[in-house]
Chain A
Amino acid sequence: MQTFFIIAILVLGFLITFQIAKASEYVAVLRGEEQTRKQSNKINAFLMLLFLIVGLIGVYYCNEKLNGKILGEPASDHGVLIDNMIKITLVITLVVFFITQILLFWFAFRYQESDKRKAYYYPHNNNLEIIWTTIPALALSVLIGFGLYYWFKITGPAPKDAMVVEVVGSQFKWEYRYPGKDGILGKKYFKYIDETRNNPLGQIWEDSANHDDIYITGEDLYLVVNKPVKMIINAKDVVHDVGLVHFRMKMDAVPGMPTTMWFTPTKTTKQMREETGNANFVYEISCDQMCGRGHTSMRGTIQVVTQEEFDAWLASKKPQYLRANPDKDPSVKKDSSNVKDIAAVMTN
């Protein structure tokens, strides 16, 4: 019923507008079309000026209202570079924006039709053309220069001491793998993926580098503050994307083609909670590439902690190799001495 009323009101409103519009056409004919045209010309010229003024106030108001809602300080070294680049670009584009928009609407108002003025015949001026080809070219050189300098810094090779972690996307979850003590991610092949036998990534167990790899899913990914992390990213089914808004990083996860990105988290989760005043703050991984019906809910979470906390956390994890091959698991085989088991796991 409510919908019906809304539609009825809309139709009625439209009919009224239409009748007025139609009537104004008749009035125009009666009063002389030329005179009516001139009058509406004045109104539109005035509206141009009004739009400019209200628009500029609107830009300011919008910024006041929303600026606090965009992300605060970046939480990674690369994030700082990216935010710098945004600021440089913002300054240049805003100057151009204000100049051109003001000129456009001011000219529209200022040079509205008038019987007293004749339009100025001004077909070209090569000097002007050269000026406004050169100035944008210079401004853009600045932007390209800074942009590429930062770009190569961000995409350059990761530091040697970077921690490595694999991130795998699939509909609609994130899975992670740490290389374990040897620092090497063991080989894997998609045809070995077998979730019923505890091998969700398709690790090749014959490769001994796999024996200490630690697999995580459904819980937080842990990273170490101030330690570079290199992510090796891939996907099992369709293209996903690892989006890390607070670190300002992003990289596609493509099936069949591993990609990488690296950065250094500079703030622990605890620090961020204090900074944002949000006790529930958590770093999030968003999937930024359309991946199907669950795209919106493909959320991962990250804890950035100190090295000690990280070591303790990692030590509590069991390599996937032992889950997939329980016969190799010392804690399962020798259930007589508990102390030894824990020690065995810890060393893994």
Chain B
Amino acid sequence: MNTVHAETMSVAHDVHDHSRHGHHKESFLTKYIFSQDHKTIGKQFLITGMIWAIIGGLFSVLFRLQLGYPDETFPILETFFGKWAKGGRIQPEFYYALITIHGTVLVFFVLTAGLSGTFANILIPLQIGARDMASPFLNMLSYWFFFLASVVMLSSIFISTGPAATGWTMYPPLSALPLASEGSKLGADLWLISMALFIVSSLLGGLNYITTVLNMRTKGMSMTRLPLTVWAMFFTAVLGVLSFPVLLSGAILLLFDRNLGTSFYLDQIYINGVVLPNEGGSAILYQHLFWFLGHPEVYIILLPAMGMVSEILSVNSRKPIFGYTAMLGSMFAICVLAFLVWAHHMFVTGLNPFLGAIFVLLTLLIAIPSAVKVFNWLTTIWRGNIRFTPAMLFAIGFVSLFISGGLTGIFLGNSTIDIHLHDTMFVVAHFHIVMGVASMFGMFAGIYHWFPKMYGRYMNTTLAYIHFWVTLVGAYLIFWPMHYQGLAGMPRRYLDKSGWVSFSQFGELDKMITVVSIVVFAVQLMFVFNFFYSIFKGRKVTNPNPWGANTLEWTTPINPGHGNWPGEIPEVHRWPYDYGKDGRDFIPQTEPISPKESVTHKTEVKPA
């Protein structure tokens, strides 16, 4: 603890010194590459995440081409991908590599590192009133481990046997046996190594976020005065720290099975005419280890989005978030339950039906805190005075998608229905809406809302509006009808349904989905353009508090240096949601409570 304090002090000192001398003596390398400034690290996470999002999105367009037009050839694909798209047709190994990398990259690299890595880094110190993270050095390492993981994953795309092609869940024995598929050769090793590096990154980040939130809040910033964004990042970090190590062990055991001849996951296998010596392992063990992370992972992705949406809805409705305590309670409940539901991914693996029943109960319980959150968001915008900033639009879109995707989860969480819907397109539709697109919306909301803080400029709003409306409509057009394919029992990960009596009736629909997904992808590219263009050429911010928000990040200068506040760190006197109180539009957290102020809310933030 002492060292933490010492470090904080030294950062504070640095800032004072610099402001006195008026000049930073940072080289390009320490300022932009090996920076220890939490804001720069956040931006590094964001931009790396965006690059991955483009790659992952592009891959989805490629496999959508196959799904929409299974009988057509695209010679241009052969030009780019050679043997993987022989004769202009996506080969099965390539198709499976595409879906595997699409899933892995979007779940881990974009929606974990790109979302919580970015916003936990940028927002935690700024919103709790700290000069930087508890350990800026570990924070920097966290990014560079992520960078290494990215390099390994990226390199796996270019090897001759191709990247992992077993689905993002990497189930053995398929992923354990080089004989089982091309992607299970070197590609699988690289996938596992990349994930191991990624987990180290995530743990370093998570420990830092937890320590920072617990120890480095400014004077007056009690835990119950934290903005919900910080709470969400905090819970996310706790989830990650407790669950990622389990995946790490799972991945290491799989590496052993692959390379050292162990039998953790292998038992009685006869493949391609070869009898393997392995006996005594269990393929299901891996699934338990994987989903023990895999399910909390869903909330690791969702919680930061929820936190940011809560903040943005409140700011732009000019109203306090409704039920701050209930919001906290529901987040806490989600966190606890997140660890107790993993086996709902395994209802049809031969799981003991009694155990299955327990997991049904616990899984459906999650719907209660989720419902509380939705109703609280609705009440937050009720009788507000809503400003439709791009961030607000995406926040509303998030709530809509979260409702739609959350409700289909009630189908899948019920084991009886899951027998029919398990591993069908229904699952694909469900988790893309609730976890993929919804969290993406949370991320977009966050980017539009805090872009002025990050770069001192605004993004172009016209492009942002186009981005929002096309993406929202597109997301529903893509994923809503997909539920019907799932109800028809169409399995996921099928690249051509023409040989089937039961699944070949959706050809037209698949074409439509493909066309829409290309349009949506193009609009995302437009967003990326808007982002980078606005960094350099966007309209400059002139008001340090452009949205009229209460939280501390808007008390910093428009372009805060390392250390965030040039002078003293401001003191906090109230909760962050005093919007519209006593006829005042907003009251920043730094303003002391005056004796004349009405106490119309009985929350935990009574005047001290």
How many angstroms from the CA of A291 to the CA of B93 in the assembled complex? 11
A191 to chain B, nearest CB (A): 5
B336 at the interface (CB under 8 A from A): no
A338 at the interface (CB under 8 A from B): no
B487 at the interface (CB under 8 A from A): yes
A12 at the interface (CB under 8 A from B): no
Chain B residues in 8 Å Cβ range of A108: 381, 386, 388, 396
Q: Are the CB atoms of A237 and B173 closer together than 8 Å? A: yes
Assess A190 versus B275: contact at CB under 8 Å? Given A122-B320, A248-B420.
yes
A186 at the interface (CB under 8 A from B): no
Stretch at the interface among B129-137, B207-215, B238-246, B597-605: B597-605
- 13 A-B pairs in the complex with CB atoms less than 8 angstroms apart: A25-B539, A45-B386, A71-B488, A96-B403, A100-B375, A111-B381, A128-B375, A171-B271, A191-B275, A241-B348, A250-B422, A284-B501, A289-B423
A317 to chain B, nearest CB (A): 24
B174 at the interface (CB under 8 A from A): yes
Q: Are the CB atoms of A286 and B360 closer together than 8 Å? A: no
Chain B residues in 8 Å Cβ range of A105: 396, 400
- Kindly report which residue of chain A lies nearest to residue B169, judged by CB atoms: A290
Q: Please report whether the interface of chain A is mostly helix, strand, loop or mixed according to DSSP.
A: helix
Q: Are the CB atoms of A152 and B353 closer together than 8 Å? A: yes
Closest 8 CB pairs of A and B: A256-B267, A245-B489, A259-B350, A123-B601, A155-B353, A21-B462, A44-B388, A119-B580
A280 at the interface (CB under 8 A from B): yes
A316 at the interface (CB under 8 A from B): no
Chain A residues in 8 Å Cβ range of B252: none
| B: interface residue count bin | 35 or more
B509 at the interface (CB under 8 A from A): yes
Chain A residues in 8 Å Cβ range of B283: 239, 254-257
A48 at the interface (CB under 8 A from B): yes
Total of A-B residue pairs, C-beta within 8 Å: 370
* Interface set of B (CB-CB < 8 Å, partner A): 76, 92-93, 96, 166-167, 171-174, 177, 180-182, 266-273, 275, 279, 281-284, 317-326, 348-350, 353, 356-357, 360-361, 364-365, 367-368, 371-372, 374-376, 378-379, 381-388, 393, 396, 399-400, 403-404, 407-408, 410-411, 414-417, 419-420, 422-424, 460-463, 465-466, 469, 472-473, 476, 480-481, 484, 487-489, 491, 493-497, 499-503, 505-506, 509, 522, 526, 529, 539, 577, 579-583, 600-603
How many angstroms from the CA of A202 to the CA of B302 in the assembled complex? 48
Give the residue of A10, A238, A299 whose beta carbon is less than 8 angstroms from that of B174.
Answer: A238
Chain B residues in 8 Å Cβ range of A21: 460, 462-463, 466
Chain A residues in 8 Å Cβ range of B367: 136, 140
A259 to chain B, nearest CB (A): 3
Q: A117-B385, A124-B323, A296-B92 are in contact. List 10 more A-B contacts (CB 8 A).
A: A62-B484, A71-B487, A85-B414, A111-B317, A133-B371, A237-B173, A255-B283, A284-B502, A289-B423, A290-B174
B507 to chain A, nearest CB (A): 11
How many angstroms from the CA of A103 to the CA of B375 in the assembled complex? 10
Chain A residues in 8 Å Cβ range of B400: 101, 104-105
How many angstroms from the CA of A259 to the CA of B581 in the assembled complex? 62
Q: Are the CB atoms of B496 and A147 closer together than 8 Å? A: no
Q: Mark A96-136, 1 if CB is under 8 A from B, else 0.
A: 11001101110110011110011111111100110011001
B260 to chain A, nearest CB (A): 19
Q: Are the CB atoms of B580 and A252 closer together than 8 Å? A: no
Chain A residues in 8 Å Cβ range of B502: 71, 245-246, 284, 286
Q: Are the CB atoms of A93 and B411 closer together than 8 Å? A: yes
Chain B residues in 8 Å Cβ range of A55: 476
Assess A252 versus B348: contact at CB under 8 Å? Given A85-B416, A108-B396.
yes
Chain B residues in 8 Å Cβ range of A280: 501
